[in-house]
Structures are given as structure tokens and as C-alpha cells.
Structure 1
Amino acid sequence: MYNKGHANLKRLEENCLLESADHGNCVKMHDLVRDMALYITSQSPRYLVKAWNQLTELPTEHEWTDDLQKVSLMRNDISKFRLDMTLPKFTALSTLLLQYNSSLREIDDSVFTLMTELKVLDLSHCYSIRNLPNSISGLVKLTALLLNGCGNLEHVPSLAKLGVLKKLDLGYTRITAISDGLEMLVHLRYLDLYAYDIREMPGGILPKLFRLQYLRLDNAVAEAEEVSRLTRLDYSFLGGRRGKAVGIGGLTNFGDSIKIPTDIQRLVIQHCDDLRRIECFYYLSSYTSALQTLEDLVLQYLDNLIAILGEEIDGAKSTLPTPITPGIFSCLKTIRIWSCPKLKRLFPPKLLRNLQNLEEIRVWKCSGLVEIVEASSDKEEEDKEASKNSIKLSLPNLRSIVLRFLPELRSFCKSCYAIHCDSLRSIYIEGCPKLKTISPLFP
């Protein structure tokens, strides 16, 4: 029983299930499994496990043996972390888990000089910490530094010597500037800089972090061109379905410089104030395949977005090709749009033929939205359509429509269109006082 349990625990460790999960995508053990794991590790001299023990002080010094490999003191009430400097160095210690010690305010500067082989340091949700000891800068073998939820943390010492660091999580902290030496972390794969008071990512840093697979900036403004060079990004900063995904937030100088990696499944764009059209993605140097594989599109807080694909802009005709490339949005399953006040219409009618896999439309708080499917901008074509009883279009997989707080919305689409939605099961409408009917939809 012991050997089998120990082997199972080892497999959990190898799969990183004992480390803190990312932004709510957690793996939760059954209580019995958790209790077994705690029991097994507590019996091994190589593990010091005192999680959930309501500790207010560190374990006694005789428990800090020099052959320790992993220490977990998570979810206690420890306020100070100090060790007797006469203790031998913990040359076997690879993992130190201190997360959710919300009272932890002080970490002695000399502590980490005893832990020269440390690879994983988790201080997540130690809310009371304001500064980290400078000795962290000497942890040259550290691969993960996790500080998410340290809501009062204002300063992180130099990271320049942490050359093998792969994961750096500074989300939901109070740091006011990018940590010194960040550009030296060339092996970094995960970077969360969703810090309340960071407003700018200095130029020249992101291109050096070319191995990044996850990047979250949000409040920190970065150059779009620099983000576009991070071709290995594969998971959106907003979470959600796994797969190859890109999240873009708070960028300046958007223009035509942004490039989207090919074969993505999820695209999230938010707080890009100068973005006017997603059409700009379509025309960038053969990146059309990015929109051909896209399954999930999220657009939010884009104050100047006026069209998704095509529209007459400032009196000039859009350069949207006719006909639209067949593959564009052909894999799209969900589109979710929040707080895009200048957006008047979602889709040109000719695009609907590409949306045969669309399952869900959600639109919230777009104060200027007039209709979901726009009328043709071609007067001759419009007259031709009007002379017919109806133009038959189909969204065969559309299952759900949610329309909320759209004060100018008047119709789903123009009356001359009949849109057959054989799979439609749910329509939710709230705060749309001018919407009188959605009769062109025929489930």
C-alpha cells in the first residue's frame, strides 16, 4: 500500500499537479487522495509537509534536515520566515511551497542563501508581503517564481541571474515597474504581468523572451509589433479552452503592424484603443490562415472598433475582398463582444455563408449596435435583394444568442433576409428597448 501510494504521488509530482494552478484552471484532489498524499509525504524524511496545520510559526529547527527535497507550509498563518543560520545548507531542497500564508510579512534576507538548489518557490497569495529578500536574486537554479495574488508586493529584486527561470507569475501584485533583469530570462515560457500599477512594458524586452508560450499584460502597454514576434504563444491570458490561442490587451500603435500566428483556435483582444477593424489582420502578409482556423473570438473594451470585417469607413469603401475568401471564419464557433461602443453591425451578409459552424453569439453593452447582420453597402445589390421575397441564408449550428444592454439595437438582420437556424435552442434578450422582433430567424 505504501509503495503503491508513493509511486502514485511521484506521478502527481511529475505532472506538476502539486504546484499552484493557473488562473482558476485547477486540478482538485479528492479529500481521500489528498489525505493519503499528505500522510505519505509526512512519513518520508525527504519531505516536510505541514500544510493546513494552522501554524503561526515555522516548524522546529530539528525538522529542517539537510536532506529535505520538498517543503510545503501552504495555507497556514505564518507571519515570519527565519531560519538559524547555523543550519547546514539545504543542498537537496528543490521545492518550497508557502502559498496562502496571508499573514506572512517578513522573510529573512539570509534564508535563500541556505537553499542554493531551489527550483520552485511559491509565495502566491501571501497578501501581506511588501518586499522580497535580495537573496532571491541568487537562486540561479530557480525555474518557477510564483507570486500571484501578493496584493501588497511592491518590489521584486533583480532577476538578471535567474537564467533558467521558465515561469514568472507577478499577477495581481502592486509592483510599479518591470523587474530589473527581465530581459535576461531567455528561457521564460510563462509570464504574467497583470499588476495593478504597471502601465508600460519597456521596449526591447519582449523580443528577447522569444520562448514565451503564455503572456499576460492587460494594464501594461506594449508595442504590438513586439508582441507579434512572440510566435510561440499558445494560451490566452484570459483562460478558456486550451489549444493554440493568442490574447492581446492594452497595446499601442496597433495599426497594421500586428501579426497573428497561424493555426490559432482562440483570439482575445481587449483595451486596444486605436484598433478600428479586425480587417487589418486579414491583409497582413499572408496571415489569412489565422482566421481560417479560428474557433473562438473575443473582443472587449475596444472603444474605436467600428467593424469586424468590412464597412464603409469615413466615406471610403472598405477593401474587403469580394467574394470573401471561403475559409475566413469557417471554423468559428463562438463570438463574444463586450463594450465596443462604435460597433454598429457585426457581420456583412456575404460573410454568413462562411459561418456554418457558428454555435454562439454573445453581445453585451455595445451602445451603438444597430443590427447583427448589416444591410448591403451596394445600392444596386440592395435593390435587387429587396425585389425578392427574401434572401435565404443559413446558420445551421447556431444554438445560442445572448443580446444584453444594446440600447440602439433595432433588428437581428434586414427584413429581406430569412436566416434558417435549425439548431437554435436559446435566445436571451435584456436591455434592448428598440428591438421589436427577431422574425427573420426561423429555428
Structure 2
Amino acid sequence: MPALQVLNLSRTSIKSLPESLFKLFNLRRLFLNHCDLITTLSSKVGELKQLEVLDLEGTEIMYLPKERWNASAEAVVSEICKLESLHTLKVYFPKVKLLSHLHWNEENMAFPSLSYFKFTVGHLVERIISRVSCDTELELERHDRYLKYVNGEGVPGDIKKVLRHSTAFFLDRNSTISRLSDFGYRNMQQLKCLVAGQCNELQAIIGGDQIESSSSDATVGLVSLEYMHIYYMKNLRSIWEGPVNDSSFNSLKCLTLRTCPELTTVFTPRLLTNFSNLEELTIRDCPKITTLVSCDSCDHNITSILPALKRISLHFLPKLTSISSGLLMAPMLELMSFQYCLNLKSLPVSKASNKNLRKIKGEESWWQELKWEGTHHDSWADIFVPID
């Protein structure tokens, strides 16, 4: 039936379109009204080049194939760029090169009136289980200028141009980048939220040598960043690599490191001062971490760390033996949560210094094995919450 032009399958019990249908190259009208069992539409429907009418009324189909957008994205973006008074823009760019239509440069956006944008760039792959929590997604979505770059390679110039005007950045599955700072410090000065994961070649978040080579300006760096979530980085070895400047991370309030199997330590003595405003620290499933602070050469004048910290969660760190290399946690601390940190035998807290501490969570067996200086664990029993 290659000459067939009209096909009406309405109110039938079909569950999917047969392969033979996509060979009806002269088909112009296809009716699937009230086919209740059809829930998805194959992307092969795009092979029906002569199709003029596709009626899906009464079906359970919620989404059309993404290929439909991929084929028309360039034409649509070109038309969008003619809207001189555009205020809000949310677009999926299947290819990085489509960003070039925006004609953004380092200093100015393509649309002077644009105050709200959400861009997703790269080939999207649907996954049954997301590795990003709902809380993290909500944090990203609350920002007015949000760039999401997925399944990419390297650091394209057009990505850097958009990044320079963004306040939130989500980097997922970049196959070649070795440091997040490769995107350029000047392009990340406005960032308040940074989420990155599954970049298998990434070894460090920051390259200190890049700061020195990029500018003598001491404010260059992640100066506005308030929220950072790093996950599933199989080769991440350090947060900071090379010389440390005084401005990066000064505004950071929330830090999460999750499933970084090669990470052995988090803070160096010199880096600690940069995290003076950190309020929440979460580290999970980093099996090689032995201590959060490597203090072999600590300044003896330092008596406590992370002065603004209120909540710390350390889960599934089997080799962790020390949190702060003998230094006390700051007096603002309110909550400590531990799970499967079996080699951690003491906590860097004291009754005199940590008067705001109201809850310690952990396994009962681990709690009973803890060693305390000057106090007995019974004196902390009123704030301990077992998780067994």
C-alpha cells in the first residue's frame, strides 16, 4: 500500500505503530483518536515526510519525539534572535554551535532586556534514575540565569560566552575536561550555584596556576559561588591544585562531594581560610578519604576550623580516621551526622566550645566505641540519635 494517503486507526486497541506503517511514504493524514493503549510515539514517524495531519486526540501520549525539535531548532533559534525586547527565554540547544546565533560576546548579552534564561546545551539522554537529587535540581532551578551543558567535550567558546552571564551552571558528562577552572575564572565570577558530575577526566575543581596566569587581579576566581555539588567524579583528586588565592570560595555556604573514589582529603591548611562562610558540608561515598583536613604543616595559631559551619554529614567513608587533624570544630556547629565511618574513633568537639551542638546521628555500635577527651560519651547521650 505505498500509495496510501489517509489512514484512520482511531478507537482501535493497538499499543504501538507497526514498522510497516513507516514505509507509507505518501501518507498525508494519520488518525489515532482515542487509541487508549498508545503511550509513546516512535521517532520514526518523522520518516513520513508527506504527513500533514497527525491526530492524537484521546491518546495517552504525553511527549513528542525529541527528534522533532532537533530538526527545527536552528530555524527557531534564528527567529528568536529577531525578538529585540525579549525578557524571558528557555531553550534546549541540541548542538553547541546553535549558541552562535545568539551573538553574545564576553561583555554583552544578545538581548539587552533579557533578565531570565534557562539554556540546556548538548545531547540529552533520558535516564530511569537521576543521579542529581530533587533538592539539587530545585537549587539550580531557582536561579534566573541557568546554563546546563551535557554530554559535551572540552570548553567551547560559545559555552564560555553564555557562562559569563550565568548565575547557575550544571555540567554533566563532559568527556575531556580536567579542571572546572578550564572554563575561565572571569567567565564564572557571577556564578552562585555550580553542580558538576560524571566528568571522568576531571582531577581538580580549581587550578591555582590558572589564576596566576589569567590576571594579577586578586578578585579573580569563584568569588560569588554559594552552592557547589560535585558527584560521581571517578578521577577527582583534589578541590584545589596549585597556588591558593584569597578570594575563591569566600561566599560558599553549601558544599557536597559525593562518590569521588580517588579523593583522599578535602582541605589543606592554606585552603581552610577560603571556606570561612561554609555552613553545610556533606561528603558521601568517598572510600579513600582519611581526613578532611591535611594538617601536617598547620599554623599552630589555628585552634578551630570552618567558623560558620552548622551542619556536617559524613556517610560511607570507611577509611576516615580524623575529621580535622586535632583541631576543634567551630562553635556554630548544630548537627553532625555519620554513617559507616567505622574507623573514626573521636569527634573534634567539646562541651566548652560547641554549646550550639544539638544532635549527633550515627550507628549505636559506632557511638559506643568513640573515645572522648575530658568527658564521657554519656555526657553527650542527650543529643545522640541512633540510626540503626
Q: TM-score range by the shorter chain?
A: 0.5 to 0.7
Aligned letter for 2:307? Answer: P
The 5-angstrom pairing of residues 175-324 of structure 1 reads 183=98, 186-187=101-102, 190-191=119-120, 193-196=123-126, 214-218=146-150, 220-226=151-157, 228-232=159-163, 244-255=167-178, 257-259=182-184, 260-280=187-207, 283-284=210-211, 285-286=214-215, 289-310=220-241, 319-321=242-244, 324=245
- Closer, same or farther in 2 for the Cα pair 1:216/1:436, shift >3 Å? same
- Closer, same or farther in 2 for the Cα pair 1:129/1:185, shift >3 Å? farther
1:224–1:254 CA contact under 8 A, matched in 2: yes
2:269 to 349, 356, 369: 349
- How far residue 328 of structure 1 moved from its aligned partner, in angstroms, is 2.3
Local SS of the residue matching 1:274: coil
CA offsets, 1:43-86, max 9 Å, x none? xxxxxxxxxxxxxxxxxxxxxxxxxxxxxxxxxxxx97xxxxxx
- Closer, same or farther in 2 for the Cα pair 1:150/1:368, shift >3 Å? farther
Provide the C-alpha distance between the structure 1 equivalents of 2:174 and 2:314, rounded to a whole number of angstroms: 28
CA offsets, 1:258-301, max 9 Å, x none? 32421211112211222212232672424953422111111111
Provide the C-alpha distance between the structure 2 equivalents of 1:375 and 1:269, rounded to a whole number of angstroms: 28
Aligned twin of 1:158: 71
- Closer, same or farther in 2 for the Cα pair 1:150/1:392, shift >3 Å? same
Aligned twin of 1:130: 43
- Closer, same or farther in 2 for the Cα pair 1:149/1:183, shift >3 Å? farther
Local SS of the residue matching 2:101: coil
**Residues 1:408 and 2:319 are matched in the alignment:** yes
Where is the helix percentage greater, Structure 1 or Structure 2?
A: 2
Aligned twin of 1:392: 303
Root-mean-square deviation (Å): 4.4
2:99–2:158 CA contact under 8 A, matched in 1: no
1:439 to 329, 337, 348: 348
2:224–2:251 CA contact under 8 A, matched in 1: yes
Provide the C-alpha distance between the structure 1 equivalents of 2:230 and 2:210, rounded to a whole number of angstroms: 19
CA offsets, 1:143-174, max 9 Å, x none? xxxxx98497566562243222554448xxxx
Local SS of the residue matching 2:292: strand
- How far residue 227 of structure 1 moved from its aligned partner, in angstroms, is 6.1
- Closer, same or farther in 2 for the Cα pair 1:423/1:332, shift >3 Å? same
Aligned twin of 1:17: none
Provide the C-alpha distance between the structure 2 equivalents of 1:149 and 1:438, rounded to a whole number of angstroms: 52
Number of aligned pairs? Answer: 271
1:359–1:398 CA contact under 8 A, matched in 2: yes
Query: 5+ residue gaps in structure 1?
Result: 1-78, 81-102, 112-125, 138-147, 171-177, 198-212, 236-243, 311-318
Provide the C-alpha distance between the structure 1 equivalents of 2:148 and 2:45, rounded to a whole number of angstroms: 22
Local SS of the residue matching 2:79: coil
1:248–1:268 CA contact under 8 A, matched in 2: yes
CA offsets, 1:166-214, max 9 Å, x none? 54448xxxxxxx57x97388259633542249xxxxxxxxxxxxxxx54
2:257–2:284 CA contact under 8 A, matched in 1: yes
**Residues 1:361 and 2:281 are matched in the alignment:** yes
CA offsets, 1:297-338, max 9 Å, x none? 11111111111124xxxxxxxx324xx42x221111000001
2:188–2:222 CA contact under 8 A, matched in 1: no
Provide the C-alpha distance between the structure 2 equivalents of 1:437 and 1:399, rounded to a whole number of angstroms: 19
- Closer, same or farther in 2 for the Cα pair 1:440/1:309, shift >3 Å? farther
Percent identity over the alignment is 20
1:418 to 328, 345, 349: 328
Provide the C-alpha distance between the structure 2 equivalents of 1:300 and 1:168, rounded to a whole number of angstroms: 25
Local SS of the residue matching 2:195: strand
Q: TM-score, normalised by structure 1?
A: 0.51
Local SS of the residue matching 1:230: helix
Aligned letter for 1:398? Answer: L
The 5-angstrom pairing of residues 25-40 of structure 1 reads none
CA offsets, 1:223-246, max 9 Å, x none? 2244652334666xxxxxxxx122
CA offsets, 1:389-412, max 9 Å, x none? x84124332111111111111110
Provide the C-alpha distance between the structure 2 equivalents of 1:136 and 1:230, rounded to a whole number of angstroms: 37
Local SS of the residue matching 1:158: helix
Local SS of the residue matching 1:401: strand
- Closer, same or farther in 2 for the Cα pair 1:157/1:407, shift >3 Å? closer
- How far residue 134 of structure 1 moved from its aligned partner, in angstroms, is 7.7
